Amino acid sequence: MKKAAGSSSSTPKPTSWVLPYQTQNLREIYTMGKKLGQGQFGTTFECTHKATGRKFACKSIPKRKLLCKEDYDDVWREIQIMHHLSEHTNVVRIEGTYEDPMFVHLVMELCEGGELFDRIVKKGHYSEREAAKLIKTIVGVVEACHSLGVMHRDLKPENFLFSSSLEDAALKATDFGLSIFYKPGETFSDVVGSPYYVAPEVLRKHYGPEADVWSAGVILYILLSGVPPFWAETETGIFRQILQGKLDFESDPWPLISDSAKDLIQKMLDRNPKRRFTAHEVIAERLSEEEIGGLKELFKMIDTDDSGTITFDELKEGLRRVGSELMESEIKDLMDAADIDNSGTIDYGEFLAATVHLNKLEREENLVSAFSFFDKDGSGYITIDELQQACREFGLSDVHLDEMMKEIDQDNDGQIDYGEFAAMMRKGNGGIGRRTMMRSSLNLADALGITENKCLNGD
């Protein structure tokens, strides 16, 4: 489904440049390689950075396809949004942008594991456990987008890539060409997206960020069953089903799927966007009992009047009882951040979502601190020499360092970048690299604030 033309579509752009600044010539910095894919507006190639030998993906958009000012603005907005989201672990990182008289080039991290769509086709459908892991990543991206005032507007399995061909490779969102910045309460009317995944309110031309949650719900249905929830032979038929069709939970494999999974899908695919789950609520709903841990009891402890919601005064008193020294203004900021629906109180779902989000941020900060310890020269990479130095400091044997480098160094460039380090620390296996790194990291626990439990469960 193409983007609907706006009122400015016939207005010619006064200049033929997308970027508001000059750039170097792409081919002076990168060597172009094989074609990776073809989209509506651009072609993606593999490219190699001449100075470092590192491989990237380059999306090249021919300017002849940019027919009006709106098209130029759309490309510039896509670049801005990618930079806006570039620090998120599950968003394809943008490395740089280049422009010449014929093309605009977006250089991004290379994800060699292919599309989620291709893995679904190959597998047929995922187990409930596998699907839960994937949808938490997808909804986590949606939550991050919405918290930063971005609507993706084209969520589908084709727009999620695996970082490598490994079974447990990281899943990353890509293609923000239809994404847009929005303000709370703002609605949109242009019909955009892909037929199977578009929300009913988009077809009715009055929608907001809730449309992304609908699309994620469609993806979850497909992950579990291998087929879309609303389908027909024609685009018109698909839209009719989206507006009026009934969810099929009778056909295989649905009788074998848990009621909680089906209930979640129904809450994500509620045709009323006001009743539909938010990204925050989806994440809280899908937490396992182990992940929730003592949060339920903590919520009850803070909710002294047993009303099911936490007021500002209850939060302040609860934090005081657990020894917090936060100032009142900081507690107010916490309250505002957690109170998603602006009700003035925090319900259980908001409490869970906010707590999990803070824990993730804390774990990420701990990983960054640990990486910085090993990266002695601050180059952004850990070398074999730096590993040997760390081993000497903590009296560890360095006999297995070569094997350890091979285990962690996924792109075989002879050094460990932050992504490779984080992937190794988050893995649940007992590989040589993880054991050695873990022993060194645990010795840093006091300095970095990392407990043994956080290290061993740092996912």
CATH topology for the 26-109 domain: Phosphorylase Kinase; domain 1 (3.30.200)
SS3 category, 99 = strand
For the segment 72-97, what is each residue's pLDDT rounded down to a tens digit?
Answer: 999 999 999 998 887 788 999 999 99
- Total length of the chain: 459
The residues that bridge with 151 in the sheet, in sequence order, are: 180
Whether residue 205 is annotated as binding a ligand: the answer is no
Rounded to whole angstroms, how far apart are CA atoms 335 and 418? Answer: 33
Looking at residue 56, what is its pLDDT?
96
The mean predicted confidence, pLDDT, of the chain is 81
The residues that bridge with 31 in the sheet, in sequence order, are: 48
Does the 293-355 domain belong in CATH 3.30.200.20? no
449 band by pLDDT with thresholds 50, 70 and 90: very low
SS3 category, 225 = helix
Q: What share of the chain in percent tops pLDDT 90?
A: 43
Decide if pLDDT at 356 tops 70: no
The lowest-confidence range among 125-129, 149-153, 384-388 is: 384-388
68 band by pLDDT with thresholds 50, 70 and 90: confident
Rounded to whole angstroms, how far apart are CA atoms 219 and 207? Answer: 19
* This prediction's pTM: 0.63
DSSP letter assigned to residue 254: G
Looking at residue 48, what is its pLDDT?
96
SS3 category, 60 = strand
Residue 406 tokens read as 């091979």
Looking at residue 442, what is its pLDDT?
42
Looking at residue 120, what is its pLDDT?
94
Domain boundaries, the chain: 26-109, 116-286, 293-355, 370-456
What is the second-level CATH architecture of the domain 116-286? Answer: Orthogonal Bundle (1.10)
Active-site option among 71, 74, 154, 375: 154
Decide if pLDDT at 438 tops 70: no
33 band by pLDDT with thresholds 50, 70 and 90: very high
For the segment 392-401, what is each residue's pLDDT rounded down to a tens digit?
Answer: 766 565 556 7
- Going by their DSSP bridges, the two strands 55-62 and 103-109 should be labelled as antiparallel
Decide if pLDDT at 61 tops 50: yes
For the segment 43-55, what is each residue's pLDDT rounded down to a tens digit?
Answer: 999 999 999 999 9
6 band by pLDDT with thresholds 50, 70 and 90: very low
User: In sequence order, which residues have a C-beta less than 8 Å from that of residue 394 and are 6 or more positions away?
Assistant: 439, 440, 443
Rounded to whole angstroms, how far apart are CA atoms 164 and 113? Answer: 4
- Going by their DSSP bridges, the two strands 94-99 and 55-62 should be labelled as unpaired
Decide if pLDDT at 313 tops 70: yes
8 band by pLDDT with thresholds 50, 70 and 90: very low
Decide if pLDDT at 237 tops 80: yes
Decide if pLDDT at 437 tops 70: no
Does the annotation count 411 as an active-site position?
no
pLDDT, average across residues 356-384: 70
Rounded to whole angstroms, how far apart are CA atoms 189 and 268? Answer: 21
The lowest-confidence range among 117-126, 176-185, 382-391 is: 382-391
pLDDT, average across residues 129-140: 91
Residue 224 tokens read as 């579990």
Rg (C-alpha) for the chain, rounded Å, is 24
**Residue 35's CB: how many other CB atoms inside 10 A?**
10
The CATH class for the domain spanning 370-456 reads mainly alpha
Looking at residue 242, what is its pLDDT?
96
359 band by pLDDT with thresholds 50, 70 and 90: low
Same topology between domain 26-109 and domain 370-456 = no
Looking at residue 427, what is its pLDDT?
54
